[in-house]
């Protein structure tokens, strides 16, 4: 949720990758998980509404979110020295940048190692002014002739060329928007450069700028110049104060934007020399795509009337600081103009700023509205959406927002399988030229619901507008799509649909049916009877309208059952570590089961074609017949496992009631099932065809499951 944007000392609360495939990855994920928390996952509507009214009354006007030292650093320090510099000291007529003339303005402590940020900003202030005036004097043609070549290393030179228009004619929000885009593209490009030498790119910008690899390519003094402008809370820290929604449009001096544009071109020149010397070429990493867009299109499409209502709400909402109003209005305008990346870049910091305002009021910590110093934590999404405050008291904001709003925010910002919009955009991992409308529509629509909820009393006309009702309904009933529990549900449904396909496999020739019948006379499948007993054990926990017998012909009935069960809500906010650990294992079992089904389908189809073409050898024919015969017992077994997994997920929070010994026993049981499905994957591979072993393996597994359920140890059996 943006740990790469946090200031020095911030808890880099990396998103939890729960769907790991290896034990080591699982262990790593669980190690990073938040500690177990008490159960505050339901939303008391009445209390929440009372809190909304109380919070709205508490909100007071705020003139700036920059603390006094940060405001001085950004708005004043670089203007104290009135010295003027000729531009030809820093750049030639052909556009060659003289780095030594810039780096001599960087100041260091007595040791010569530590940067003196404030003196460096003071000294660089006039240099920035000179560069800014020079850019303003250039025509677009002159700017392109001198600098286009040197922006190509960023892999988004068109975006940088557009930025001259911002320098020459900046509107109230253009500087901030362009700076956020510049720092995003620059970070991505610097990461590409680091990978020329290093093997792994740091996630945090400050670590990237401090890396030895970049110092080797560009020079340490050059990297120190960048650290003065971005990446350190001791410097101007322009990137962080903008992306976190602390700086208002009027607080960012345009000359700093011009200087960063200038420095980006200068880095391109240095990189060219390095590539020539080392005989290497720069490879750009592909952008991170936003997949499953249909799942990200949550709200109805925003039309012109809704966008006009949004502009009215911006002016009347208590979560919009007055000095931030231009950002909100420009975000809505950008959506109107189909500039979806610009819309989201502007919205995300303001959404964070508005939620931080609510967070500070409801938790009675007004000082946390301001930017933090280098020795303190920034109050970012990580802290705003957490369950507990730093003092371990309960964060009241989740109760105020409600479960649906929290699940939306976690889905879009934090969950590993979700879009993680802020992370991808702020780190330059998204293609800004082709940003999906679906995501912009969802984030803007969600923001409108918050503007509406926390608006002043004089918006009666707006509140009576029926156009807002569909948006509010979607917001009020949103359920997580990307929490590991939600991912598990989707995987279960996908798996049972795969198993259902078994009944549509090619019809066997008559002689094959007779052969299977003949072989079947000599083989008994006792596991079929055990499986039927287990279905009986689970029947009391299933909907009364559906009775499952374990008949492979009834896989459609099982699909209906699982679809119905997976549509039920499971609380996912702030899941304790034990819950997450169980979900990991359940997901792995489902994944292995799906792999078995896929292998059966693929092998059946291939072998059938070979049978018809008479290209199967005798041994392959026998293996094929054994496999077709084995489907008789394997289909209900896999259905049973999916039903058991789904029932356990529905009662997942019951695991918190188990003592340590019972928990370990339960986990051991699930890992036994996982081992069984992993063995099934191995035995059912086309090159293995161990169908006799599969029968023995399955019988043993079914007996163990039956015994465990007989002891009433499953979560669904313990749930009240």
Pick the range with the lowest mean pLDDT from 64-68, 372-376, 477-481. 372-376
The model's confidence at residue 139, banded by pLDDT at 50, 70 and 90, is very high
User: Which structure tokens are listed for 227?
Assistant: 């650290």
Share of the chain above pLDDT 70, in %: 86
Q: DSSP letter string over 262-321? A: HHHHHHHHHHHHHHHHHT----PPPPPP---HHHH--SPPP-HHHHHHHHHHHHHBTTS-
In this prediction, residue 509 carries a pLDDT of 62
For residue 328, how far is the Cα from the chain centroid?
23
Q: DSSP letter string over 9-73? A: T----PPP----SSHHHHHHHHHHSPPP-----S--HHHHHHHHHHHHHH----S-SS-HHHHHH
pLDDT per position as a tens digit, 25-59: 433 443 344 333 334 333 444 555 555 655 555 55
125 has a pLDDT exceeding 50: yes
Q: What is the rounded average pLDDT of the residues 554-571? A: 90
423 has a pLDDT exceeding 80: yes
pLDDT per position as a tens digit, 599-655: 999 988 888 888 888 888 878 887 888 888 888 889 999 999 999 999 999 999 999
Pick the range with the lowest mean pLDDT from 87-91, 260-264, 454-458. 454-458
pLDDT per position as a tens digit, 488-519: 999 999 999 999 999 888 866 666 656 555 55
Please tell me which residue, 257 or 526, carries the higher pLDDT value.
Answer: 257
As a whole number of Å, the CA-based R_g of the chain is 30
The model's confidence at residue 530, banded by pLDDT at 50, 70 and 90, is confident
In this prediction, residue 686 carries a pLDDT of 85
Q: How far apart are CA 484 and CA 519, in angstroms?
A: 44
Q: What is the rounded average pLDDT of the residues 325-335? A: 97
What three-state secondary structure class fits 340?
A: helix
Distances (CA, A) of 189 to 78, 184, 240, 285, 685: 27, 9, 18, 9, 44
Please tell me which residue, 300 or 607, carries the higher pLDDT value.
Answer: 300
Any idea how long the chain is?
720
Give the predicted TM-score (pTM) of the model.
0.88
478 has a pLDDT exceeding 80: yes
In this prediction, residue 2 carries a pLDDT of 42
In this prediction, residue 54 carries a pLDDT of 55
Q: What is the rounded average pLDDT of the residues 415-444? A: 95
Q: What is the rounded average pLDDT of the residues 424-432? A: 95
Q: How far apart are CA 563 and CA 492, in angstroms?
A: 9
18 has a pLDDT exceeding 60: no
The model's confidence at residue 687, banded by pLDDT at 50, 70 and 90, is confident
The model's confidence at residue 569, banded by pLDDT at 50, 70 and 90, is very high
Pick the range with the lowest mean pLDDT from 108-117, 382-391, 469-478, 616-625. 616-625
Compute the mean pLDDT over every residue in the chain, rounded to the nearest whole number. 87
Nearest to 252 by CA among 333, 338, 180, 339: 180
In this prediction, residue 609 carries a pLDDT of 86
Sign of CA dihedral 461, 462, 465, 469: negative
pLDDT per position as a tens digit, 145-192: 999 999 999 999 999 999 999 999 888 899 999 999 999 999 999 999
Pick the range with the lowest mean pLDDT from 37-46, 266-275, 512-521, 532-541. 37-46
In this prediction, residue 6 carries a pLDDT of 41
576 has a pLDDT exceeding 50: yes
In this prediction, residue 15 carries a pLDDT of 33
In this prediction, residue 461 carries a pLDDT of 65
pLDDT per position as a tens digit, 438-474: 999 999 999 999 999 998 766 666 666 788 999 999 9
In this prediction, residue 623 carries a pLDDT of 80
1 has a pLDDT exceeding 50: no
In this prediction, residue 20 carries a pLDDT of 35
Q: What is the rounded average pLDDT of the residues 357-361? A: 95
For residue 52, how far is the Cα from the chain centroid?
28
């Amino acid at each position: 949720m943006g740990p790469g944007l946090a200031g020095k000392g911030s808890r880099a609360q990396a998103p939890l990758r729960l769907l790991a495939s290896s034990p080591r990855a699982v262990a790593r994920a669980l190690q990073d998980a938040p500690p177990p928390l008490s159960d505050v996952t339901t939303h008391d509507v009445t209390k929440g509404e009372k809190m909304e009214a109380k919070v709205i009354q508490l909100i007071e006007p705020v003139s700036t979110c920059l603390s006094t030292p940060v405001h001085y650093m950004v708005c004043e320090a670089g203007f104290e020295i009135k010295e003027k510099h000729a531009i030809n000291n820093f750049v030639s007529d052909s556009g060659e940048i003289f780095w030594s003339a810039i780096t001599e303005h960087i100041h260091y402590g007595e040791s010569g190692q530590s940067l003196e940020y404030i003196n460096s900003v003071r000294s660089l202030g006039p240099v920035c002014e000179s560069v800014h005036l020079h850019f303003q004097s250039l025509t677009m043609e002159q700017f392109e002739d001198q600098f286009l070549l040197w922006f190509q290393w960023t892999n988004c030179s068109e975006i940088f060329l557009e930025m001259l228009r911002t320098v020459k004619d900046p509107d109230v929000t253009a500087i901030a928007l362009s700076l956020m885009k510049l720092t995003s593209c620059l970070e991505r490009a610097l990461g590409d450069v680091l990978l020329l030498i290093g093997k792994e790119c740091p996630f945090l910008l400050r670590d990237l700028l401090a890396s030895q690899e970049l110092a080797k390519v560009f020079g340490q003094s050059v990297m120190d110049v960048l650290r003065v402008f971005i990446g350190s809370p001791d410097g101007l820290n322009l990137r962080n104060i903008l992306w976190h929604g602390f700086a208002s449009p009027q607080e960012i001096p345009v000359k700093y934007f011009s200087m960063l544009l200038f420095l980006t071109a200068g880095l391109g020149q240095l990189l060219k020399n390095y590539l020539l010397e080392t005989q290497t070429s720069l490879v750009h990493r592909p952008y991170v795509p936003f997949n499953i867009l249909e799942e990200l299109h949550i709200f109805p499409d925003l039309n012109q009337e809704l966008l006009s209502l949004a502009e009215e709400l911006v002016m009347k909402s208590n979560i919009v600081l007055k000095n931030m109003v231009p950002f909100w209005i420009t975000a809505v305008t950008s959506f109107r103009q189909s500039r979806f990346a610009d819309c989201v870049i502007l919205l995300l910091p303001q959404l964070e700023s508005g939620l931080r305002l609510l967070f500070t009021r409801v938790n009675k910590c007004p000082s946390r509205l301001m930017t933090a110093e280098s020795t303190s934590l920034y109050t970012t999404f990580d802290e705003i959406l957490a369950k507990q405050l730093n003092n371990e008291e309960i964060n009241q904001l989740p109760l105020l927002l409600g479960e649906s709003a929290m699940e939306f925010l976690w889905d879009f910002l934090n969950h590993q399988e979700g879009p993680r919009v802020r992370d991808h955009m702020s780190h330059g991992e998204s293609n800004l030229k082709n940003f999906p409308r679906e995501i912009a529509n969802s984030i803007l629509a969600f923001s409108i619901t918050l503007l509406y909820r926390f608006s002043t009393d004089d918006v009666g006309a707006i509140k009576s507008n029926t156009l807002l009702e569909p948006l509010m309904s979607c917001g009020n009933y949103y359920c997580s799509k990307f929490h590991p529990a939600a991912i598990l549900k989707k995987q279960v449904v996908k798996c049972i649909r795969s198993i259902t396909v078994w009944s549509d496999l090619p019809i066997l020739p008559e002689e094959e049916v007779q052969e299977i019948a003949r072989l079947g006379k000599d083989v008994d499948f006792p596991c079929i009877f055990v499986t039927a007993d287990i279905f009986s054990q689970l029947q009391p926990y299933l909907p009364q309208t559906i009775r499952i017998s374990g008949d492979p012909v009834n896989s459609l009935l099982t699909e209906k059952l699982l679809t119905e069960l997976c549509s039920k809500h499971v609380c996912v906010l702030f899941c304790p570590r034990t819950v997450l650990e169980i979900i990991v294992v359940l997901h792995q079992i489902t994944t292995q089961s799906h792999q078995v089904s896929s292998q059966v389908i693929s092998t059946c189809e291939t072998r059938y074609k070979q049978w018809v073409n008479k290209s199967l050898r005798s041994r392959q024919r026998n293996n094929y017949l054994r496999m077709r015969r084995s489907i008789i017992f394997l289909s209900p077994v896999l259905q049973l496992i999916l039903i058991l997994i789904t029932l356990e997920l529905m009662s997942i929070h019951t695991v918190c009631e188990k003592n340590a010994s019972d928990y370990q026993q339960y986990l051991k049981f699930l890992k036994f099932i996982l081992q069984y499905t992993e063995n099934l994957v191995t035995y059912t591979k086309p090159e293995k065809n161990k169908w006799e072993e599969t029968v023995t393996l399955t019988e043993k597994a079914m007996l163990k499951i039956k015994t465990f359920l007989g002891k009433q140890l499953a979560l669904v059996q313990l749930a009240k």
